[in-house]
A and B are shown apart, each in its own frame.
Chain A
Amino acid sequence: MAKVSVLNVAVLENPCPFHSPFRFEISFECNEALADDLEWKIIYVGSAESEEFDQILDSVLVGPVPAGRHMFVFQADAPNPSLIPETDAVGVTVVLITCTYHGQEFIRVGYYVNNEYPNPELRENPPQKPDFSQLQRNILTSNPRVTRFHINWDNNTDRLEAIENHDPALGCGFPLSCTPIKGLGLPGCIPGLLPENSMDCI
């Protein structure tokens, strides 16, 4: 059972010029206080062809995270245009928001991003070299693609302790629960004896 579930990601200021920062308002719920911070990352996919062109726009730590619902705004600078292949600058690509706990990724939210020239002229006749200052970025907010991964939320050592902790309770449960027998005779007699007794009461 994942301790953290993402309730919603709202894309703020969309659509916007290419050079504007990304802003995501992330709401999530945590059902048990986390010992450590969550790490969120925004990854901009420069080219569908290769992960080489992925840019990690930013990564932040989010914490402390007590049980409850939380929200924060994750802002990251626009991708560096010089790292984007010219052929991929205009058109559809993807931006990913990932979250990891203890270095394990447990959720990945992906959005399609459309970069296009709002100016119809430019759209018809795009310049040879992409003019990023004219590009508009449009994130397809209505269709996030969410993938969740099972991860280990506890340290394994913690888990063992938790199980051991149950044992004392079990140990002391017994002597106590045995005491009433003394007053009622031998344990074996009780089933036969009980209904009669209770009949008397009525």
Chain B
Amino acid sequence: MKLLKPTWVNHNGKPIFSVDIHPDGTKFATGGQACVNCVRWSNSGMYLASGGDDKLIMVWKRATYIGPSTVFGSSGKLANVEQWRCVSILRSHSGDVMDVAWSPHDAWLASCSVDNTVVIWNAVKFPEILATLRGHSGLVKGLTWDPVGKYIASQADDRSLKVWRTLDWQLETSITKPFDECGGTTHVLRLSWSPDGHYLVSAHAMNNSGPTAQIIEREGWKTNMDFVGHRKAVTVVKFNPKIFKKKQKNGSSAKPSCPYCCCAVGSKDRSLSVWLTCLKRPLVVIHELFDKSIMDISWTLNGLGILVCSMDGSVAFLDFSQDELGDPLSEEEKSRIHQSTYGKSLAIMTETQLSTAVIENPEMLKYQRRQQQQQLDQKGSAARETGSATSVAGVVNGESLEDIRKNLLKKQVETRTADGRRRITPLCIAQLDTGDFSTAFFNSIPLSGSLAGTMLTSHSSPQLLPLDSSTPVPFGTSKPSTEPVAATGTRPAGDSVSKDSVNAASAPAAPSPSILTTPSKIEPMKAFDSRFTERSKATPGAPALAGLTPTAMESHGCLCLCRLKEQSLVKELRPRDVLESSSDSDEKVPVAKPSSLSKRKLELEVETVEKKKKGRPRKDSRLMPMSLSVQSPAALTAEKDAVCLSVPAAALKLPMPGPQRAFTLQVSSDPSMYIEVENEVTAVGGLKLSRLKCSREGKEWETVLTSRILTAAGSCDVVCVACEKRMLSVFSTCGRRLLPPILLPSPISTLHCTGSYVMALTATATLSVWDVHRQIVVVKEESLHSILAGSDMTVSQILLTQHGIPVMNLSDGKAYCFNPSLSAWNLVSDKQDSLAQCADFRSSLPPQDAMLCSGPLAIVQGRASTSSGRQAARLFSVPHMVQQETTLAYLESQVAAALTLRSSHEYRHWLLLYVRYLVNEGFEYRLREICKDLLGPVHSSTGSQWESTVVGLRKRDLLKELLPVIGQNLRFQRLFTECQEQLDILRDK
């Protein structure tokens, strides 16, 4: 074992409360300085969550584009190698957040607080809260997830440890006995669950008035064992992520021993102990490691390194060898243990398992290679982008950033506000990154080359432990080194990099030159110093400050990200005199509240409101073809006034629109289209006529009808009106009558138009749909009896899709569409559908959030049914088999519903999802059937019933799209090959 105390990791002497090593082993985060209580990387390494005294949890993500590498004004003494941006701020806790924890697979994020609660956040959809776990009566100071995701455990100052089920977020058990003697004396109580799931180990517990770490068995939550020996309360327990087995000695035929776990325990007594579950005594105890209590522990993912941080503001790193700990089991073996113990493993098919499969076919091999190559290319291009950051000229709208900068003053828009003040509209040079690389080109700003330099060093061969630089890299793999460490010296001196730092970097061992070598005469003057740091008093231009009120500080900005491999460099850079040039004021400054709203602000608000108003209809018009929202409000009113003509006894009766003197109806806002109706216009000889007026983008037409108009509807193609005496008239967009009046079987209830389709729902609940352009009937007087009968359900929403398919949303949450080819009603959506709630296909979702697929099905089902986070909650709690079945059933019904609704976009979306799920879960038969149908007969035969398209999509194109998905699972390589070959044959034909 080797021990290192890197002095360059510090928060200026302030306490470090938390430390966490990134899963890829290249960096770690520390949090402290009396504001950040906890930092945790997500399992994927994509996010960093931090919890602090400001009651917030902040979720950080690496920014993909590169900005200035230094914080402006910090004179380049500490270059930011990476930029991490806060992507979510989670607000719910009413007190300091003490601990945060990502669930296995990153589906959830849990946080606990001194407000006595634990909050479970939907990590797929921040800031959605899935549950708030209440039950603790004291400050909750630690959290840990069960490695198989079935439980979460929390430990609090109320002398209890509680285990909660993830199935329903209810309390599973509360363990109090080992904590009876405990006092609330520790800052944190970081408990931990063993990687095999068998044991939960608490922080601070007592046994015979001695401090212990209590071992709680998963089986029956028994508390028979504990880790004893620390002289003061245990603050933190952390299991090694690996499961180990005894190192096999060469030559000896030792029987394979039981796998065991390894656990580190830190205490207020400033010592650290490391235990193996196969030994009765600790593997190692290190006393006096720190001057103050240990606060947090983090293992490297390979299980051989451990970082410990302390209240005294320092960290320590321990490096173990495999001889000391044992042979770590592979992830595959680990998941096999999970599988045999808990019936399932989280990893459905890990990459390691895949790599053992034999690739049988050169096509497949090529495909796999291509994929790898693509990934490499992506990485490469990313690296290139970062590497050549300085040379890539930012381009905005085809103009280089340099050009823009030259002309910025002339080009920028400057206006005067109502009160005569100058107002500049800033030029937007980059969007905030959305995760793609496109924005990387906007790296714009006078880029100091130091970034590129340091990036390279970070990849160059690490010298983690100067004590023994020949040891292999302790922190996982490192990228192949391309540049010697000295590369840092070659920073091009940008205007924000002081030349001194170049010297310092290239000659790290040399005594640091004074950085403030400012042009000769200029000496910092004491008199000015206060001017730099003191806030200006209210100046005439600013609204007067109306009294100072302390408000909650928004930030807990004392996070530190450290690059492990850079330490040899940074170590030398750090201890230098800190230049006074930047001073983030740490003290909580009383914040001035904006006083009265200035006039200007009010005006601004009005402006934004107006903008919003303008913005909205556009959205509607997009949905217009099948949306109801702009239809006349008069459409479904006044049942009483209606004159019933022929209502069969006991038959259904739908509300009818009453006669109105005049009404206006907006058909769409873009293009803007209105219908105006005026009834009983007196014409010659006392005759009463009705006038129909339509205005479309300023063009107007009008026409007259002989009977009163009850309701009207329109689309971009047709305008139709229903009159008294059951007459329905249809006009073209220019006002030309397209048909003689249609006589409806009974009075109109609701009228709809979409495209050239006209739908009429009558008061006796019969439905007709015509295509007026082709002049054919799509649905002929179909009764709603079958879907409405037997209860007092009503139709809550009506939809007519672009393909003339009517959809009825009923008040009980079910939605039916009428399938003209089957001449039957199909159930397409059910809000109470338990399948939708049990199904989990999160793993099959494409990387981008494609849940935003819009179309009739999405409208009918509403967004609620697609909240994958909630569905994911079942992943761990329902038996896997049941889960699979429900997911399959759900996905199949979605595909079928999209097909029935002829929504090609949604059909494609759900089919892809379904296939991806089949591939992930390994359902060969169904997959084969789909492929067969999509492929069709390769050799054309006359008797073939096969249709080459489905809802307007070419089936073979769909299959081509599906092939890469199928190719992802080596298990289906034969299917992949078959389809590929046959598609090739077809193409050659």
Tell me whether B422 and A108 are in contact (CB under 8 A).
no
Interface residues of B in 384-422 (CB under 8 A from A): 405, 408-409, 412, 414, 417, 421-422
On whether the beta carbons of B532 and A180 are closer than 8 Å, the reply is no
Q: Given the known A-B contacts A8-B496, A62-B426, A64-B425, are A41 and B343 also in contact in the complex, defined by CB atoms under 8 Å?
A: no
Does the CB pair B536–A108 fall under 8 Å? Answer: yes
Contact between B540 and A194, CB atoms less than 8 A apart: no
Given A71-B445, A170-B131, A198-B880, 15 more A-B residue pairs with CB atoms under 8 Å apart are A6-B73, A43-B539, A61-B421, A61-B424, A62-B424, A114-B522, A143-B516, A143-B581, A152-B551, A152-B591, A166-B92, A166-B127, A169-B128, A170-B129, A183-B834
Complex contact A105–B535 (CB within 8 A): yes
Decide yes or no whether B484 CB sits under 8 A from chain A: no
CB distance from A105 to the nearest CB of B (A): 5
For A83, list chain B residues within 8 Å (CB).
none
Q: Contacts A61-B421, A156-B551, A195-B342; is A170 near B86 (CB within 8 Å)?
A: no
| Interface: A179 (CB within 8 A) | yes
Minimum CB distance partner of B867 in chain A: A176
Q: Name the 10 nearest CB pairs between A and B, nearest first.
A: A198-B343, A146-B73, A70-B426, A102-B594, A48-B527, A201-B881, A1-B555, A59-B541, A110-B532, A69-B430
Q: Which of B161-169, B784-792, B938-946 contacts A (4 or more CB under 8 A)?
A: B161-169
CA distance A105 to B582 in the complex (A): 16
Chain A hits for B169, CB < 8 A? 174, 177
A25 vs B260: C-alpha distance in the bound complex, in angstroms? 61
Given contacts A1-B86, A1-B555, whether A105 and B426 have CB atoms under 8 Å apart is no
Least CB distance, A127 to chain B, in whole angstroms = 19
| Residues of A close to B873: CB separation below 8 A | 177
Output the least CB separation between A102 and chain B (Å): 4
**Among the interface residues B92, B557, B582, B594, which one has the most CB atoms of the partner chain A within 10 A?**
B594
Contact among A39, A104, A138, A202 with B339 in the assembled complex (CB-CB below 8 Å):
A202
Interface positions, chain A 153-188, Cβ under 8 Å from B, are 153-156, 159, 162-163, 166, 169-170, 173-174, 176-181, 183-184, 187
Interchain nearest-CB distance for B59 vs A (Å): 11
The yes or no answer to A133 lying at the interface (CB within 8 A) is no
Tell me which residues across on chain A come within 8 A of B446, comparing CB atoms. Answer: 8, 10
Distance (Å) between the CB of A173 and the closest chain B CB? 5
CA distance A136 to B311 in the complex (A): 53
Q: Is A135 an interface residue (CB 8 A)?
A: no
Say if the beta carbon of B209 comes within 8 Å of chain A: no
Per the 8 Å Cβ criterion, residues 687-732 of B in contact with A are: none
Complex Cα spacing A193 to B625, Å:
51
**In the complex, how many angstroms separate the beta carbon of A49 from the nearest chain B beta carbon?**
7
Do A41 and B539 touch across chains, with their CB atoms under 8 A apart?
Answer: yes
Chain B residues near A74 (CB-CB < 8 A):
424
Total number of residue pairs linking A and B with CB closer than 8 Å: 302
User: Are A146 and B445 neighbours in the complex by a CB distance under 8 Å?
Assistant: no
Q: List 24 A-B contacts (CB under 8 A).
A: A1-B89, A7-B67, A28-B426, A35-B608, A58-B422, A60-B424, A64-B425, A69-B429, A69-B445, A71-B405, A71-B429, A72-B408, A72-B427, A73-B409, A103-B538, A105-B536, A143-B581, A169-B128, A173-B131, A177-B168, A180-B877, A194-B150, A201-B344, A201-B880
Q: Is B852 an interface residue (CB 8 A)?
A: no
Contact B555 A176 (CB under 8 A): no
Shortest beta-carbon distance, A66 to chain B, in Å? 7
Residue from A96, A116, A145 having most chain B Cβ neighbours under 10 A: A145
**Known contacts A39-B541, A43-B536, A146-B581; A181 and B131 CB within 8 A of each other:** no
B601 closest partner in A (C-beta): A36
Distance in angstroms between the alpha carbons of A180 and B170 in the assembled complex: 14
- The contact string, 1 if C-beta is below 8 Å from chain A, for chain B 529-559, is 0011101101111111100000111111100
CA–CA, A150 and B585, complex, Å: 8
Residues of chain B from 231 to 247 with CB closer than 8 A to chain A in the complex:
none
A16 interface contact, C-beta 8 A:
no
Q: Are B521 and A114 in contact (CB under 8 A)?
A: yes
Q: Once bound together, how far apart are the Cα atoms of A98 and B531, in whole Å?
A: 11
